């Protein structure tokens, strides 16, 4: 159904619409601008290729925020940063890891975030694997052997070929044998090695560096071809590298079988002490109800294993492009349109949680919040988060939205409130109608979520355009509509599988410094 036909059909429900029913010509302008003269591709390419990843506390996120603010201001939109605390500053420079014996190979490896470097100088040393242990006393006896060595602490996958490849090509007997042997080996690793040291991972790694290890090596394979996750270092004096599944297995086998594995690590990285942690806020003030808010929400920060493209560059661009469209199609909104780009999401929703705590006057006057944080896919699901009247409002809005955008969307109505995982939950716990725009997955978990492959080429521009246009339309409809109902369903009457009693989630306290976050125990 085209835009004109959809808007004609919307006249059927106009009798039930509020007195200040939205003007269909504004929706038509939003459609034309969003679909026919989109800037989504340009914004995405610049952010993901030129600006790059945005790890909280790094010069990269500061540079990215300068770009975002300058872009908003070029559209005539007021934009600023707002500090909510500090974080440990860190600068990533050039880093690599090489196998120098028994043969030469440059390894697929990345320095983990907030890892110390090597002073820019190469550090050579042999490799030792974390052994099977009888108990914590055995760990204490083994520990001195790490001095002058790189230590491998993760399970070495015996195959880095995805299961779907095995299922497609192996005989049933071969597939079954591989899976049984792999699963048995993984259980044995979990039970007989690090668990028997009886230390949590941060403390374990601290013990390794105190004992004189040269560095730590880990792997976090996603199960997909050539992808691994790049998270956070837990060391403070020695470098920590994440390796690909294939190269981790290579080095493990050489070391475990006594074949003389020697590595050369070179890492230019610098810890910068405490630096400001901040959100980015952009707004167009409302003409009639300036102290009521429609919030467009996405986290701005990312891990830096790649470009932070689908987590969450796509959410960032969706909200930026939606605001650009609104600025042209709806320059004098009834309510204030606020775009919030959160920092610290990857470390525990810190930016959004801090905003909720710092701005009760905004929180109690939020009409509705739309959040996007699940990859590049077009929107296909929205949970009502336990708000009893939400479904009726969304159905009324969708009657005015083109079917191309609205018809694929399944409403979870009334559903139950989410807790954690995304910035919308920082507001739901406070009773704010805050909704996550659930999208088509596009292999998000195995290939782009926190991986070395989360790059611009994974962005689906058509879906990005659709999402930005949808958000602009929903923001316009919400800005013009009557106050969104905040009535909650009776969770005591809900009995999910397992029979546990549900309660409305409580808001967590934001970690406003690196030290209080628990990242470095």
Distance of CA 100 to the CA centre of its chain: 36
Give tens-digit pLDDT for 435-481: 999 999 999 999 999 999 999 999 999 999 999 999 999 999 999 99
Of 299, 280, 377, 227, nearest in space to 53 by CA? 299
Q: What pLDDT does residue 519 have?
A: 66
Of 221, 319, 335, 254, nearest in space to 287 by CA? 335
What would the mean pLDDT of 351-367 be, rounded to a whole number?
98
* 75 and 191 inside one domain: no
Q: What pLDDT does residue 257 have?
A: 98
The total number of structural domains that make up the chain: 2
Structural domain contains residue 229: yes
Of 19, 32, 15, 111, nearest in space to 402 by CA? 32
Distance of CA 380 to the CA centre of its chain: 19
Give tens-digit pLDDT for 160-211: 999 999 999 999 999 999 999 999 999 999 999 999 999 999 999 999 999 9
- 260, 287, 316 - which closes a domain: 260
3-state secondary structure labels for all residues of 213-237 = CCEEEECCECCCCCCEECCECCCCC
Q: What pLDDT does residue 501 have?
A: 84
* 158 and 254 inside one domain: yes
What would the mean pLDDT of 71-81 be, rounded to a whole number?
98
Q: What pLDDT does residue 12 have?
A: 33
* 333 and 462 inside one domain: yes
- 206, 232, 260 - which closes a domain: 260
Structural domain contains residue 382: yes
Cis previous bond, 414, omega within 30: yes
Cis previous bond, 331, omega within 30: no
Contact call for residues 309 and 461 (beta carbons, < 8 A):
no
Kindly list the distances between the CA atom of residue 375 and the CA atoms of 95, 175, 316, 410, 437, in Å, as whole numbers in the listed order: 28, 32, 11, 18, 10
CATH of the domain at 196: 3.50.30
Q: What pLDDT does residue 302 have?
A: 98
pLDDT tier at 142, thresholds 50, 70, 90: very high
Residue written as token pair 């926190």? 450
Q: What pLDDT does residue 21 have?
A: 65
What would the mean pLDDT of 403-413 be, rounded to a whole number?
97
Structural domain contains residue 477: yes
Task: Compute the mean pLDDT over every residue in the chain, rounded to the nearest whole number.
Answer: 94
* 337 and 400 inside one domain: yes
* 215 and 186 inside one domain: yes
**Which residue range is the domain that position 76 belongs to?**
37-88+274-484
Give tens-digit pLDDT for 77-125: 999 999 999 999 999 999 999 999 999 999 999 999 999 999 989 999 9
Residue 17 scores a pLDDT above 80: no
pLDDT tier at 10, thresholds 50, 70, 90: very low
Structural domain contains residue 490: no
* 379 and 248 inside one domain: no
CB-based contacts of 60: which residues, under 8 Å, 6+ apart? 51, 52, 53, 54, 92, 304
* 77 and 162 inside one domain: no
Among 9-18, 230-239, 331-340, 498-507, whose mean pLDDT is lowest?
9-18
* 349 and 424 inside one domain: yes
* 45 and 127 inside one domain: no
Q: What pLDDT does residue 336 have?
A: 98
Rounded-to-integer distance, Cα 117 and Cα 91, Å: 10
Residue 13 scores a pLDDT above 60: no
Residue 414 scores a pLDDT above 60: yes
Residue 73 scores a pLDDT above 70: yes
Structural domain contains residue 515: no
Structural domain contains residue 516: no
Residue 495 scores a pLDDT above 80: no
- 234, 260, 286 - which closes a domain: 260
Please list the helix, strand and coil fractions of the chain in percent, rounded to the nearest 5, in that order.
40, 20, 40
CB-based contacts of 150: which residues, under 8 Å, 6+ apart? 125, 126, 127, 128, 213, 214, 215, 216, 217, 263, 265
pLDDT tier at 304, thresholds 50, 70, 90: very high
CATH of the domain at 421: 3.40.630.10
What would the mean pLDDT of 40-47 be, rounded to a whole number?
98
* 311 and 253 inside one domain: no
Please, what is the Cα angle at 87 between 86 and 93, to 5 degrees? Answer: 135
* 78 and 210 inside one domain: no
pLDDT tier at 5, thresholds 50, 70, 90: very low
Structural domain contains residue 1: no
Structural domain contains residue 31: no
> What per-residue string of b and e applies to 243-276 under the rule 16 or more CB within 10 Å gives b?
bbbbbbbbbbebbeeeeebbbbbbbebeeeeebe
Give the 3-state secondary structure of residue 149.
coil
* 278 and 256 inside one domain: no
Contact call for residues 239 and 269 (beta carbons, < 8 A):
yes
pLDDT tier at 497, thresholds 50, 70, 90: confident
Give tens-digit pLDDT for 213-227: 999 999 999 999 999
Give the orientation angle of helix 24-31 with respect to helix 3-10, to 10 degrees. 160
Q: What pLDDT does residue 520 have?
A: 58
Residue 18 scores a pLDDT above 70: no
């Amino acid at each position: 159904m085209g835009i004109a036909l959809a808007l004609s059909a919307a006249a059927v429900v106009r009798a039930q619409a509020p007195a200040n029913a939205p003007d269909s010509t504004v929706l038509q302008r939003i459609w034309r601008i969003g679909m026919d003269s989109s800037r989504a591709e340009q914004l995405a390419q610049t952010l993901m290729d030129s600006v790059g990843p945005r790890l909280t506390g790094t010069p990269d996120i500061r540079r990215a925020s300068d770009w975002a603010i300058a872009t908003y201001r070029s559209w005539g939109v007021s934009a600023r940063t707002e500090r909510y605390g500090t974080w440990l500053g860190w600068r990533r420079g050039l880093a690599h890891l090489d196998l120098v014996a028994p043969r030469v190979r440059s390894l697929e490896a990345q320095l983990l975030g907030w890892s110390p470097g090597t002073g820019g100088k190469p550090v050579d040393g042999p490799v030792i694997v974390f052994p099977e242990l009888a108990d914590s006393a055995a760990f204490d006896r083994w520990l001195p052997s790490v001095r002058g060595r790189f230590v491998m602490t993760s399970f070495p996958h015996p195959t880095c070929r995805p299961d779907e490849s095995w299922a497609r090509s192996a005989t049933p007997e071969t597939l079954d044998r591989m899976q049984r042997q792999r699963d048995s080996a993984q259980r044995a690793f979990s039970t007989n090695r690090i668990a028997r040291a009886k230390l949590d991972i941060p403390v374990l790694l601290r013990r390794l560096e105190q004992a004189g290890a040269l560095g730590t090596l880990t792997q976090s394979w996603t199960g997909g071809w050539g992808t691994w996750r790049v998270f956070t270092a837990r060391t403070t004096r020695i470098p920590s590298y994440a390796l690909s599944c294939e190269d981790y297995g290579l080095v493990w086998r050489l070391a475990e079988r006594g074949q003389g594995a020697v590595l050369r690590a070179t890492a230019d990285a610098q810890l910068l002490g405490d630096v400001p942690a901040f959100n980015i806020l952009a707004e167009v003030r409302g003409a009639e109800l300036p102290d009521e808010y429609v919030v467009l929400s996405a986290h701005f920060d990312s891990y830096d294993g790649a470009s932070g493209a689908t987590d969450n560059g796509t959410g960032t661009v969706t909200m930026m492009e939606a605001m650009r469209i609104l600025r042209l199609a709806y320059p004098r909104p009834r309510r204030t349109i606020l775009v919030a780009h959160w920092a610290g999401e990857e470390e525990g929703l810190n930016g959004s949680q801090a905003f909720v705590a710092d701005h009760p006057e905004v929180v109690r006057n939020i009409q509705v919040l739309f959040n996007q944080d699940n990859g590049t896919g077009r929107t296909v699901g929205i949970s009502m988060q336990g708000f009893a009247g939400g479904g009726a409002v969304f159905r009324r809005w969708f009657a005015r939205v083109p079917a191309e955008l609205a018809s694929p969307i399944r409403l979870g109505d009334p559903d139950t409130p989410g807790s954690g995982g995304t910035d919308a939950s920082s507001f739901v716990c406070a009773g704010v109608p805050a909704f996550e725009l659930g999208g088509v997955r596009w292999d998000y978990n195995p290939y782009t979520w926190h991986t070395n492959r989360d790059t611009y080429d994974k962005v689906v521009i058509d879906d990005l355009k659709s999402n930005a246009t949808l958000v602009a339309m929903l923001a316009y409809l919400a800005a013009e509509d009557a106050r969104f109902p905040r009535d909650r369903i009776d969770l005591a009457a809900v009995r999910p599988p397992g029979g546990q009693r549900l309660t409305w989630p409580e808001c967590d306290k934001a970690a406003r410094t690196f030290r209080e976050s628990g990242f470095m125990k």
